[in-house]
Structure 1
Amino acid sequence: MTTQPLSATEAERDALALHTREHRIAPGEIAIGVVIGRTSEFFDFFVYAIASVLVFPKLIFPYVDPLTGTIYSFAIFALAFIVRPVGTMIFMEVDRRYGRGTKLTIALFLLGGSTAAIAFLPGYETIGHAAVMLLALFRMGQGVALGGSWDGLASLLALNAPERHRGWYAMVPQLGAPLGLIVASLLFAFFVSILPAEDFLDWGWRYPFFVSFAINVVALFARLRIVVTPEYARRYESLSLAPAPVMETVRAEWRTIALGAFAPLATFAMFHMVTVFPLSWVFLFTPDSPSRFLVLEAIAAALGTAAIVASGHIADRVGRRRLLGACAAAIAAFSGFAPQLLDGGPVGEAVFMLVGFVLLGLSFGQSSGALSSRLSPRHRYTGSALTSDLAWLFGAGFAPIAALLLSTSFGLPSSGLYLLSGAACTLAVLWLNREVVGAIE
């Protein structure tokens, strides 16, 4: 099937008005679009993650104890990662038939709409088990939309990056994660601190979900501003950014996709071990205020943002392979004493979060698209999307529930095993496969 021209939706026409004259897209313009887009996605992600600990166990699962309710909530949390590859398959076909702008418009409205719909969700006491089914449905809507929101802007940024500064440009898309976490954490901390518990559970928690829809509209225009430009269209038509059929891509690139999914596993396992899981442990098993820990999380995320920026400089000096390998080894060592820090009171929690986010930032900053250069130009766009989906699924999707089950069954130190397994996978891929090593220098 030949690539169709980008369709002219209302949003695209508005964005296209900004680009009436031919010009080359500057890397800075792409970077802004990438950061805004990723921040909106991760804001949605963390708003749901925080509510999975503070709200849903009581609102949706009041008929079980708090621990069991949190485990059920984390099971629904994982649904988005399971269906995300399905979203990629569906929206790749939309992309091929109707264009990138149509795909992004539908995907981001689905993402914002699914997140906003959760804000109107009645509790179990109102509609019974239908509340559970609706929450699962909306969560899967988020996952499908995230699969469809892959826009190729990170790839375009890499294509426009100077060769000597690839590490620097590789870290730019990753800035969206800590920025989204900072906004989500502070927003929830504000409502938790100013509202009585009854009011927060009744209506206060819903406001961050409303905000997400507005943020997604802003992100949509920021991304369309890039994808409607003449240069993006040329990249699209030349197959540099064109979607290939999913099954064709899997048949042709399955080995690179599989290795690319496992190479950053240490990073993705670490991601939830310092964001979602510690909040659940502190909330369930310590007397600490959730608002205090959310503020601590925002401060740690700010430090993680600085570490992501630093990873760009370090990678350009020593190479992405060495940095990823060193970070995986450090994460493996961290897994041995991190749980004890989390169980060490306010000081231990602070050390756990600050050290954890520094390690996360250094590794996460260079984890995106580590093997994308090995994909053929025809399959690079679709293959990169599938690789990202699988990395999140295997590395992060089940991390909160796995860590919580291990901790409550065998003691908190056992939660480090999940983190250690991710580090071991990353080190194994980097050590055993010379082709991978060469691809991410």
Structure 2
Amino acid sequence: MKLEKESIALLAKALEKLESGFDLPDLNHSFDSKRMEEVILKVAERMQDNYPYFHPLFAGQMLKPPHPIAKAAYMLAMWINPNNHAMDGSKASSPMEKAVVADLAKMFGWDTHLGHLTGGGTMANLEALWVAGQIHTNKIIVASDQAHYTHERISEVLKLPFTKVKTDSQGIMDLEDLESILKKGGVGTVVCTMGTTGLGSVDPLPELLELKKKYDFRIHVDAAYGGYFKLLKNLEESALRKYAMIDQADSIVIDPHKQGLQPYGCGCVLFKNPEVAQYYIHDSPYTYFISDELHLGEISLECSRAGASAVALWATHQLLPPVQNGEFSKDLSKSRDAALDLYHRLIKSESFYPIVKPETDIVAWAIAGSKTSEMSEQAKGFFVRAEKNKLYLSLYKYPTSKLIDPPFEVDSEYLVCLRSSLMKPEHQNWMDEIWNRLLKSIS
């Protein structure tokens, strides 16, 4: 079955269980079911105008289908529609959120922490940099030129100065350029991206920690995409060394809606020092009554937040705990293996030119040619032909200034490449089919 539908029967059974827990008079809901059917079928028809994000032949953008347990739990929660701002509106789902946030903190090696779920990585990074700005008032935020573009935007929103650091040919932060910025003074926070959204590259955290001793800045780890790779053993030795020190960061962001099998939007921000709660805590005249414990709304810039996200993630953690050597991490390892498989096939082919060796599960490659301008045009044409062959890729602009001794003429500022995010564990078993469709798409 292309679209998983078996969980609908489980949801119906769970709804009966849920309803049995409320001893209340019937509401006698009255709906125009015929009209609703007409509308929902229209929705289904409109939704057909999508790429097949759920299928392994969609190997382009960062879109990973939620696990059936996450979808079922999310929908089940929607019959209650809890708001995880305060315990008054989320008596069951707030404790679930605290439990899953603790799971993620433990995954990174933290027994004590402060954190909560967010609507996504952008909001999570906003909160981390907002706290950084409270601690280092008016000091500079620094991130690499391959970091997510929201860091620059967020800094502008927070009225904090922002500076970009150069990256090397692998898309990793250049330490010499960073130190030249640090020497000038005034840097409050360095953003360490662990899993860039372009190439999946991992910044040099061990070296950043050494520089921190010398220049006294906060380290914020943006692991929105790459955080779960902390669980894997089949990374390059250099990447394993970086992930092994993630517990020494000051704050971490991770997006369960990327690699964590969750529906959009589900992000998470974590702080190593719980005392940063002092920058959040406020009073509300009508929300904080039924519990003396710290409410999630008291440590969040967001107010209303979907409790269903916490319920879905809690259910997923119950079924697939985010631990090393568990079923979840083994499936994520398959994505990493698929990326390496594709990379090695590209190396052996005369038709393609791989850009970097993947550190996570993202692979980027160019179409072989004599000059970068022509290769870019060939990549654009290849992208269209691949889609006609039901293989869905993405495009990536790689700065030609980062190329090292290329076997072709550089006559353009950027080299347009093909790019695959091999996020689905099924990509491993589908690699022969993906490769055949790649070859078929060559002009």
The TM-score with structure 2 as length reference comes to: 0.26
Instruction: From the two aligned structures, give the one with the greater strand fraction.
Output: 2
Structure number with greater CO (CA < 8 Å, separation at least 6) is 1
The TM-score with structure 1 as length reference comes to: 0.26
Structure label with greater radius of gyration: 2
